[in-house]
């Protein structure tokens, strides 16, 4: 497949913070799934730019470790808040905690928390696809609507950005629950961009291509991570994968006042990959797997996540 063989020459990776120092001084940002991976990079970049940051997920121990590292590395405020997106009552309580710790409702919400794994669709139980939809679609609706209601009551403007995926529109085999859920998130983004702009709220989304993080891609690739890099980069026209710092720079730019006119946009950020592959970036080789290979992959992924197999 045609791709750039010298990406370091033409498409260099720049990990430094792009926006001017102090861009978010006086602002408060909430990042769901902020303890690891893309969420951690996004939260760190907001903190570097002067924002007071709250990071939220279910695993408080991971959050507290990350929050401490962000405070140490940036000198900014970063608070850990336990949040279960699937439970609207717990979501409301978590937002209360954010307001108590940071003094007010955030100016920026980043919907980054997600759940996904590759699997042949005929092997999925209702519990399996229900869990993904509960976290990705219902969870995003839970936090976004609760956050939005608070902003509307307080007559406070805000920017909301959701992390989506390329196959939310194109569709993709072997990740059907995620595709269904992310399609709903994109519809929510465009719908609320028109309904709630009158209250001073704007909504956008980013659909990134392959940006490997161990937590997410451990559920999406059955091989070793070094093999993933070599296998997938040849499917990206620019010849390399993305980096968390790159999406963090894009996220902060979109949520800054430099981009206050951007509303209802779904921005594709994939090095041009989708225009070659038109679908999932997990690899066409998945079509060749037999039931034994899927069984081995299921066991491997369950082992990585520490979850035993439930009845179908």
Answer whether residue 62 shows pLDDT above 90.
Answer: yes
- Rounded Cα distance, 44 and 64, in Å: 14
- Rounded Cα distance, 22 and 155, in Å: 25
- Rounded Cα distance, 99 and 165, in Å: 30
Considering 129, 167, 199, 258, which one is annotated as catalytic?
167
- Rounded Cα distance, 64 and 177, in Å: 30
Where do the domains of the chain lie, and which CATH numbers do they carry? 20-305 (3.40.50.720)
- Rounded Cα distance, 88 and 145, in Å: 10
Asked whether 246 and 240 are in contact (CB, 8 A), the reply is no
- The answer to whether 129 is a known catalytic residue is no
- Rounded Cα distance, 254 and 260, in Å: 8
Answer whether residue 216 shows pLDDT above 70.
Answer: no
Answer whether residue 180 shows pLDDT above 60.
Answer: yes
Instruction: Show Cβ contacts of residue 106 under 8 Å, excluding neighbours closer than 6 positions.
Output: 28, 29, 30, 54, 98, 147, 158
Q: What is the pLDDT of residues 88-99, one digit of tens each?
A: 999 999 999 999
- Rounded Cα distance, 76 and 50, in Å: 6
Tokens at 160, concatenated: 């909301």
- Model's pTM, two decimal places? 0.88
- Rounded Cα distance, 103 and 49, in Å: 19
pLDDT band with cut points at 50, 70 and 90 for residue 312: very low
């Amino acid at each position: 497949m045609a791709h750039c063989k010298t990406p370091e020459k033409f498409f260099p990776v720049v990990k430094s913070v792009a926006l001017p120092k102090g861009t978010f001084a006086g602002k408060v940002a909430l990042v769901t799934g902020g303890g690891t991976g893309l969420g951690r990079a996004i939260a760190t970049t907001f903190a570097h730019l002067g924002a007071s940051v709250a990071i939220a997920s279910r695993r408080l121990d991971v959050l507290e470790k990350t929050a401490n590292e962000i405070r140490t590395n940036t000198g900014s405020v970063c608070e850990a808040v336990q949040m279960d997106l699937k439970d609207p009552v717990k979501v409301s309580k978590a937002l209360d905690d954010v307001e108590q710790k940071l003094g007010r409702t955030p100016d920026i919400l980043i919907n980054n928390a997600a759940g996904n794994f590759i699997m042949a669709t005929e092997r999925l139980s209702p519990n399996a696809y229900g869990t993904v939809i509960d976290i990705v679609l219902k969870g995003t609706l839970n936090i976004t609507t609760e956050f939005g209601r608070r902003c509307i009551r307080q007559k406070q403007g805000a920017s909301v950005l959701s992390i989506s995926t390329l196959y939310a529109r194109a569709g993709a085999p072997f990740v059907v629950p995620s595709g269904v859920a992310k399609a709903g998130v994109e519809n929510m983004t465009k719908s609320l961009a028109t309904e709630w702009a009158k209250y001073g709220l704007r909504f956008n989304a980013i659909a990134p291509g392959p940006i490997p993080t161990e937590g997410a891609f451990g559920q999406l690739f059955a091989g070793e991570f070094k093999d993933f890099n070599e296998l997938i980069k040849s499917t990206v026209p620019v010849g390399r994968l993305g980096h968390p710092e790159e999406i963090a720079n894009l996220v902060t730019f979109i949520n800054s006042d430099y981009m206050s006119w951007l509303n209802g946009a779904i921005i594709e950020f994939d090095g041009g990959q989708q225009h070659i592959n038109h679908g999932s970036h997990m690899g066409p080789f998945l079509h060749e797997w037999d039931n034994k290979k899927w069984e081995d992959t299921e066991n491997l992924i369950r082992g990585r996540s520490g979850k035993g197999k439930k009845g179908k």
